[in-house]
Structure 1
Amino acid sequence: MGARENIIRHSVPADHSCLFTSVAYLCQGTSGEVELRTAGRKLREVCAQAVLADTDPASRAIMLGHDSVEAYVQWIRNETHWGGEPEVLMLAEHFETELVIVSCESLSLLRYAEGGKNGTAYLLYTGQHYDPLPNAAATQSDAGVACRAFEAAAAGVETRDKAAISLAQLHNLEAARRAKERRVQRLKCSGCGSLCDDAAAFQAHCGEVEHGDDFAYDCEQVEVVVGADEALPEGNVDLNAPEVFTFYNASSANTLSFSMRYDGAPFQLGGETFATLEAYWRGPAVSEASLDEREQRLADALRAQYRPSSEGGAALLAALAGTAQRMVVCVDVDPWLGMQAAGGISSGQNMFGKALMTLRDEAAAA
């Protein structure tokens, strides 16, 4: 038999009750979303009653980290609270079943109620979620299954333990792969399903592609996953890439930053003094200007603020030089000024970031 043929992973909802539903699935044979939710509530109550029955309630409360056993009971009955090690132990004793927690974080096994007469049940713990690891033979048919644990006298414990650790390793590999995935927003044509980069691209698509008579020229926004090894669509930037320097335009005014709100480098422009770049940007010189004029006025304001003859300007220039050849990206809700940062992948014109990179090149050439 292969290393993982007799133990498999079964997923339960990540709804704060995953420990209880996992144990119900393994030790009671419970199946079905509604049934598992009900069983989870009952197992919370099993823990509550076990604590209330303790002959030394004061010590039990201290061990559980609560002021009283009554406080614990109220806490565990609240379905927004997770179960943990105390509940694992209580449930193992209740079912007289050895519960083995397979930790994805430490790649180790933690055994509770070892040697339980009703067998051994494995639970995968990712650090945030529990999933049951049932006996594969007991999952072939959910009908009439009373228990999905391994029998107490079943051979091959060492093999099952290794297989359980292997499942934890597989989880970690998959989690690492997902962590590298990036996501972009696209418009999906309701007529043919084509993906378009933006509204302008969708409009062009509607004019170029023939659709059915009932096509209503509508679309929906969808999220597209881009793998770690795939190139990003044109116009998108991965803010987590090492070659990208990202700053937020809404950051604190008191700490040295490229934010327009930074107040450590006042400057003069057009006969006026501005405490921050934001003060200039929100004034009539910019608000009444065209987009082409805004680009030039942004460049002029940056040269004035980043002048090397002032202490604040020199500090900003030094910080800008420290970005080396990295792409400078301003994250801002204004799609002209900066970029949006949803999902770690951004799109937008980033004119502020581009102006800073131009200034950086000018300073390096001076």
Structure 2
Amino acid sequence: MHAAPPASVAVPGGSGSVVVRRVVASDNSCLFNAVGYVVERSRDKASHLRRVIAETVAGDPEEYSEAFLGKPNKEYCAWIKDPQKWGGAIELSILSRYFGREIAAYDVQTKRCDVYGQDAGYEERVMLIYDGLHYDALAVAAFEGAPEDVDITMFDTHGSEADSIGRAAAELVAKSHEARQFTDTANFTLRCGVCQLGVKGEKEALEHAKATGHQNFGEY
């Protein structure tokens, strides 16, 4: 029996403040809407941020080459504007630069934190949490159960407060891991929504998509 997933974790020395997970919709645009929440306090920024990324990539075909993107520049730009396509590391690195802030992405399965823009000298950081399939936002609430409209989502990158918030976020991730609040994308089972074929893991799903053009998968 797994532990119950935590709703929040207290910030050490934070006078009752807590790091809390703010859920965004599971609609293939969760990364963009999670970033929208932590930077602009909106869960409805996906189409705008997809356009920002496409324009950034189209504007610098040398940096954003086929070798970097995994597909030709023009093809990638059309692909990322499709609301059914997921974002990942490339998109987070571009959004970090666009907003001029570090984006700390915590992975529940590995308990690792990847910080995009870490070497750019940005003074503020925002936080996301990822369960293998889905991104949510992380925020600091004044107390457990505090309303979202008083969330703090941007923090100094350095200093004692930043360290305390980082420790609380890492603890929330560790407790979420203990509660198995993640999907093992190497071994999970998926069914193709087009032809109903069952596949195991992200690798097989990608191979099937490449071979058939089918893009609609669901867990089963």
TM-score normalized with structure 1 length: 0.42
Q: In the alignment, does 2:31 pair up with 1:19? A: yes
Residues of 2 paired with 1:12 and 1:124: CA distance? 11
Q: 1:26, 1:132 within 8 Å by CA — same for their partners in 2?
A: yes
Residues of 2 paired with 1:41 and 1:116: CA distance? 28
Q: Deviations over 1:101-120 (max 9, x none)?
A: 11111111111111653511
Number of the residue aligned with 1:71: 75
Number of the residue aligned with 1:265: none
Residues of 1 paired with 2:39 and 2:168: CA distance? 20
Q: 1:95, 1:118 within 8 Å by CA — same for their partners in 2?
A: no
Return the match for 1:100 from 83, 98, 104: 104
Instruction: Give the aligned residue type for 2:164.
Output: T
Number of the residue aligned with 1:111: 115
TM-aligned CA deviation for residue 137 of structure 1: 4.2
Q: In the alignment, does 2:179 pair up with 1:174? A: yes
Partner SS state of residue 15, structure 1: coil
Residues of 2 paired with 1:126 and 1:154: CA distance? 28
Number of the residue aligned with 1:305: none
Q: 2:11, 2:168 within 8 Å by CA — same for their partners in 1?
A: no
Partner SS state of residue 134, structure 1: strand
TM-aligned CA deviation for residue 167 of structure 1: 1.3
Residues of 1 paired with 2:90 and 2:109: CA distance? 19
Q: Deviations over 1:5-41 (max 9, x none)?
A: 34211111111111000000001121xxxxx23x111
Residues of 2 paired with 1:132 and 1:100: CA distance? 10
Q: 1:135, 1:150 within 8 Å by CA — same for their partners in 2?
A: no
Please identify the structure whose Cα radius of gyration is greater: 1
Residues of 1 paired with 2:35 and 2:123: CA distance? 13
Instruction: Give the aligned residue type for 1:155.
Output: S
Instruction: Give the aligned residue type for 2:40.
Output: Q
Give the 3 Å change call, closer, same or farther, for CA 171–98 of structure 1 in structure 2. Answer: same
Q: In the alignment, does 2:142 pair up with 1:130? A: no
Instruction: Figure out how many residues of one structure are paired with residues of the other and give that number.
Output: 168
Residues of 2 paired with 1:17 and 1:151: CA distance? 27
Give the 3 Å change call, closer, same or farther, for CA 92–165 of structure 1 in structure 2. Answer: same
Q: Deviations over 1:327-350 (max 9, x none)?
A: xxxxxxxxxxxxxxxxx9xxxxxx
Number of the residue aligned with 1:142: 149
Give the 3 Å change call, closer, same or farther, for CA 104–14 of structure 1 in structure 2. Answer: same
Number of the residue aligned with 1:208: none
Instruction: Give the aligned residue type for 2:140.
Output: N
Number of the residue aligned with 1:256: none
- RMSD (Å) for aligned C-alpha atoms: 2.8
Q: In the alignment, does 2:168 pair up with 1:156? A: no
Structure 1 unaligned spans of 5+:
31-35, 177-343, 345-366
TM-score normalized with structure 2 length: 0.67
Q: Deviations over 1:219-277 (max 9, x none)?
A: xxxxxxxxxxxxxxxxxxxxxxxxxxxxxxxxxxxxxxxxxxxxxxxxxxxxxxxxxxx
Q: 1:116, 1:152 within 8 Å by CA — same for their partners in 2?
A: no
Number of the residue aligned with 1:272: none
TM-aligned CA deviation for residue 140 of structure 1: 4.2
Q: In the alignment, does 2:45 pair up with 1:45? A: no
Partner SS state of residue 48, structure 2: helix
TM-aligned CA deviation for residue 151 of structure 1: 3.0
Partner SS state of residue 128, structure 1: coil
Q: 2:24, 2:136 within 8 Å by CA — same for their partners in 1?
A: yes
Structure 2 unaligned spans of 5+:
1-9, 182-219
Q: Deviations over 1:118-168 (max 9, x none)?
A: 51111111111111111324974527x8x7211345533332222212111
Counterparts of residues 197-212 of structure 1 (less than 5 Å):
none
Residue identity (%): 26
Instruction: Give the aligned residue type for 1:79.
Output: P
